Chains A and B, each alone.
Chain A
Amino acid sequence: MRTRTSVSSWQWQRSSWWFAAITLVLGLSTGGCEKKKPSDGNGSGTAVAPPSTPPVDRSAAIKKWLEEFQPSTLSRAQQETELKWFQDASKPFAGMEIKVVSETLNVHSYESKTLAKAFTELTGIKVTHDIIQEGDLIEKLQTQMQSGQNVYDMYVNDTDLIGTHYRYGDAVPLSDFMTGEGKDVTLPTLDVDDFIGKSFGTAPDGKLYQLPDQQFANLYWFRYDWFTRDDLKQKFKAKYGYELGVPVNWSAYEDIADFFTNDVKELDGHKVYGHMDYGKKDPSLGWRFTDAWLSMAGVGSKGLPNGIPVDEWGIRMEDCHPVGSSVSRGGEANSPAAVYALTKYIDWLKKYAPPEAPGMTFSEAGPVPGQGNIAQQIFWYAAFTADLTKPGLPVVNADGTPKWRMAPSPHGPYWEKGMKLGYQDAGAWTMLASTPLDRRKAAWLYAQFTIAKTTSLKKFFMGLTPIRKSDIDSEPVTKAAPKYGGLIEFYRSSARNLWTPTGNNVPDYPKLAQLWWPNVSEAVSGALTPQAAMDKLAKEMDDVMARLERAGMKTCAPKLNPEKPDTEWIGKPNGPKAKLANEKPKGETMPYEQLLESWK
């Protein structure tokens, strides 16, 4: 998804000004970039504490935890075999303490509280599974990448960084590790081909660098109960001339937003809104865009997963080299389609969303639809599914089924068939070369434990972030599907292939992602026009890529195209699209039931 910078913990020491001055300098110096000798692993320097828990009967531990890991796509005997394998493979590392980290999601809380404990009891390897804000996680990852000092033994890091890991060469290719130095600690029944997000962690060299631990998409969310009310349907059709339903294009979404905010206004005595979004100046504002927004409007080229040669960031890549994001270099970040995408985001936020929405961040805005006054949301993260199915919420029926549904997001007028249509987050296990081998091995054992077939189906029910095809197709998931408002239907359909994370065109995700939110914020405030904001952003991205080109990267560094007049690129094959004469074609909608049929 993103690079999240949460720096609230960095508080300025203001009680004495001279101390603040020194702190300022010290603060920077802690992120030193000189390569230091990695800290040694078990038995070679780093303190290794014995497990604090008393000795456990390992066989009994298997019996105990088998009860927890139900349901599963494996039989109990197969689960027992897998757990026994983990015990045997972990013997050389028993007593070691390892540290891994992931962002704050329900599924990771389950891993941290339950799976880590289970793994420790089963194997004797003590696991500390930290849950921190993703911005802090990226900071730790960058600290390790820049310093060579081992901070965590493995990271659950979004595959949005695949282009970064591949080019900097700091991440260990897992496909090499599994067949090479980590062969003895690789689960024979891991079944990598079963992972639906395997391609997201695969670099242009065909190697797997990141193996998904959780996945969720951003989809269209709407109040099915309101959309099926006859009085509202008639009123909508009378005004707009077509049926109220799942919007297929942005025109329909805009009409529906206007309808609920300005025509319906109140339902059951409560003020309702036809749109929900967020706009606070915050790194999460950048994810709102880099995740998929521009591609939904139609920025980028056809071709999956991210558009070939131009991706959803507007970055053009030739061979494996990014060559520019400005239109003048063949990119699309400041193209008419990109400007249209930003303009619509701002218009809808100001016209149709609750007045407090511009001051919200991603995490503040996420649960708002659950409060029951939002009719639809074009860009809704399915990671919030579990939060919106809790009994007692205004959006949940008495029988536990949701009043809402999720559906594919509508697309803008620049979008064409064959392009990506949405974003899919894939938090994936990532191993850095600067971590000592024995620690990597122990951490890899734990990583596999969290995604093995023995545990993955139970984990799916705890977080609703599927990673394995075998889980999605399983009988327990079929039975539970009606409770999840279309989530399962989406993941079983081939449509999910149009939902992809940031890809290989982005050579340095942390540096480039940080450029988005300040520029978007300036456009939201009106300080810059959407065109000026996107021009500035495109130039800043090109400047960073020029620096990467100058410094050189281990592989596939950017090679910027020379600047040419925009007219030499716009409207050319595989070039940025020309401005449309009509950016608001007639709205199109589809009945939800018809949509489900099309997914089968």
Chain B
Amino acid sequence: MIEKTRSNKAWLLILPMTIVVAFSAIVPLMTVVNYSVQDILGPDTKVYVGFEWFRKVLRDPELHAAFLRQLLFSFAVLAFELPLGLGVSLLMPRRGWAVSAALVVLALPLLIPWNVVGTIWQIFGRTDIGMGGAALVKLGLHYNYTADRVDAWLTVLVMDVWHWTPLIALLCYSGLRAIPPAYYQAAAIDGASGWSIFRYIQLPKLKNVLVIAILLRFMDSFMIYTEPFVVTGGGPGNSTTFLSQFLTRLAVGQFDLGPAAAFSLIYFLFILVFCYVFYTVMNRVGQG
């Protein structure tokens, strides 16, 4: 009988990755933890403050408002983009040159960098030189996203819908194309209506794709930064200020490392919770 040779040398293979992760994630994370308990005003000017910044950040009414605004925005994004994306995918051609044309047109907004998307909408929405803004004013609407909080909010929302609905449409389209023709043939034999085909064949078959689309768009919209920064700067007032802008102002604008580190860790924890949800849902979807 041949004795099995036992060796732990295989662990060495993951050593390089362990070192990379340590330097790229763990050490910086610990540095942030270190900053979060200090008031740092200069290399020689720092004071240990315990959990002062965490208390301050968690009690900050502006942060609470930004968090709620962020959640509301993410749900609004899903409420519009999901049905719209699904609808577009159902209307897309199934064969011929039109397929390629539709795919290219849909992919265009996805290929534009975020800051350029912001710039496009910043100009598009202006009432003096922007086609969209000027058209609304011509229609007799009192639209001015630069001064009106509701207008600003809607502009950012519409911009996101324009930018990201194609992603959902493309995901759904690929899901629809993956449904075997036999299902449609069976439905035809049974004389099923279009609604029945959608309700009992297409929608159930798109379940996995839709779960992924929902999670991706939720996570993505939860971290939105660049587009509203360019279009509204987070204003008027705080109407379009999201969590990431708070962090930016503290960390980059004020260079206020202590409070920014505490905020960053809390934000990081939010993301970890969502990561867990994402992981759990994905696992269940995979099993189901």
Which chain A residues have a beta carbon within 8 Å of chain B's beta carbons? 3, 5, 7-8, 10-12, 14, 17-18, 20-22, 24-29, 31-35, 135, 139, 142, 145-148, 168, 170, 279-283, 350, 354-361, 508, 510-511, 514, 518, 521-522, 524-528, 547-548, 550-553
A146 touches B254 (CB 8 A): no
Cross-chain contact of A551 among B47, B233, B244, B260 (Cβ < 8 A): B47
| B255 cross-chain contacts in A, Cβ below 8 A | 31, 139, 142, 146, 510-511
Most A CB contacts (10 A, CB to CB) among B29, B114, B230 go to B29
CB-nearest residue of chain A to B225? A12
A521 touches B235 (CB 8 A): yes
| A552 cross-chain contacts in B, Cβ below 8 A | 45
A11 touches B278 (CB 8 A): no
B93 → chain A closest CB, angstroms: 28
| A12 cross-chain contacts in B, Cβ below 8 A | 114, 223-226, 244
Tell yes or no: B248 within 8 A of A by CB.
yes
B111 → chain A closest CB, angstroms: 13
CB-nearest residue of chain A to B235? A281
Give bound CA distance, A510 to B249, whole Å.
Answer: 11
Cross-chain contact of B253 among A18, A283, A356, A548 (Cβ < 8 A): A283
| B244 cross-chain contacts in A, Cβ below 8 A | 12
| B226 cross-chain contacts in A, Cβ below 8 A | 8, 11-12
B251 touches A508 (CB 8 A): no
B149 touches A356 (CB 8 A): no
Cross-chain contact of A28 among B39, B128, B219, B261 (Cβ < 8 A): B261
A350 touches B47 (CB 8 A): no
Given known pairs A279-B146, A521-B236, the reply for A25 and B25 (CB within 8 Å) is: yes
Tell yes or no: B283 within 8 A of A by CB.
no
CB-nearest residue of chain B to A3? B253
Give bound CA distance, A14 to B144, whole Å.
Answer: 29
Give bound CA distance, A280 to B233, whole Å.
Answer: 7
| B24 cross-chain contacts in A, Cβ below 8 A | 22, 26
B279 → chain A closest CB, angstroms: 10
Given known pairs A33-B46, A35-B43, A281-B236, the reply for A8 and B230 (CB within 8 Å) is: yes
Most B CB contacts (10 A, CB to CB) among A142, A148, A359, A525 go to A359
B237 touches A526 (CB 8 A): yes
B residues 38-79 in Cβ contact with A at 8 Å: 39-47
B50 → chain A closest CB, angstroms: 13
Tell yes or no: B31 within 8 A of A by CB.
yes
Tell yes or no: B234 within 8 A of A by CB.
yes
Given known pairs A7-B229, A28-B264, A355-B147, the reply for A17 and B236 (CB within 8 Å) is: no
Tell yes or no: B280 within 8 A of A by CB.
no
Give bound CA distance, A27 to B247, whole Å.
Answer: 11
Tell yes or no: B274 within 8 A of A by CB.
yes
Tell yes or no: B202 within 8 A of A by CB.
no
B residues 178-237 in Cβ contact with A at 8 Å: 219-220, 223-226, 229-230, 232-237
Give bound CA distance, A553 to B268, whole Å.
Answer: 32
Give bound CA distance, A25 to B35, whole Å.
Answer: 12
B146 touches A139 (CB 8 A): no
A11 touches B272 (CB 8 A): no
B264 touches A25 (CB 8 A): yes
A285 → chain B closest CB, angstroms: 8
B252 touches A10 (CB 8 A): yes
A266 → chain B closest CB, angstroms: 15
Given known pairs A350-B147, A514-B253, the reply for A521 and B237 (CB within 8 Å) is: yes
Give bound CA distance, A459 to B145, whole Å.
Answer: 41
A359 touches B40 (CB 8 A): no
Cross-chain contact of B268 among A25, A170, A354, A357 (Cβ < 8 A): A25
Give bound CA distance, A498 to B28, whole Å.
Answer: 48
A58 → chain B closest CB, angstroms: 41
Cross-chain contact of A281 among B225, B233, B247 (Cβ < 8 A): B233
Given known pairs A8-B226, A551-B46, A553-B45, the reply for A28 and B257 (CB within 8 Å) is: yes
| B268 cross-chain contacts in A, Cβ below 8 A | 21, 24-25
Given known pairs A551-B39, A551-B41, the reply for A11 and B114 (CB within 8 Å) is: yes
Tell yes or no: B238 within 8 A of A by CB.
yes
Give bound CA distance, A139 to B260, whole Å.
Answer: 15
CB-nearest residue of chain B to A527? B237
Tell yes or no: B271 within 8 A of A by CB.
yes
CB-nearest residue of chain B to A14? B220
A510 touches B254 (CB 8 A): yes
CB-nearest residue of chain A to B115? A8
A5 touches B239 (CB 8 A): no
| B275 cross-chain contacts in A, Cβ below 8 A | 17-18, 21
11 cross-chain CB contacts under 8 A: A5-B253, A7-B248, A12-B114, A18-B275, A20-B271, A27-B251, A29-B29, A29-B32, A32-B31, A355-B147, A359-B232
CB-nearest residue of chain B to A364? B122
B63 → chain A closest CB, angstroms: 13
B256 touches A511 (CB 8 A): yes
Tell yes or no: B267 within 8 A of A by CB.
yes
- Proximity bits, B96-140, A CB within 8 Å = 1, else 0: 000000000000000001110000001000111100000000000
Give bound CA distance, A27 to B257, whole Å.
Answer: 11
A145 touches B42 (CB 8 A): yes
| B235 cross-chain contacts in A, Cβ below 8 A | 280-281, 521, 524-525
B131 → chain A closest CB, angstroms: 14
Give bound CA distance, A386 to B128, whole Å.
Answer: 26
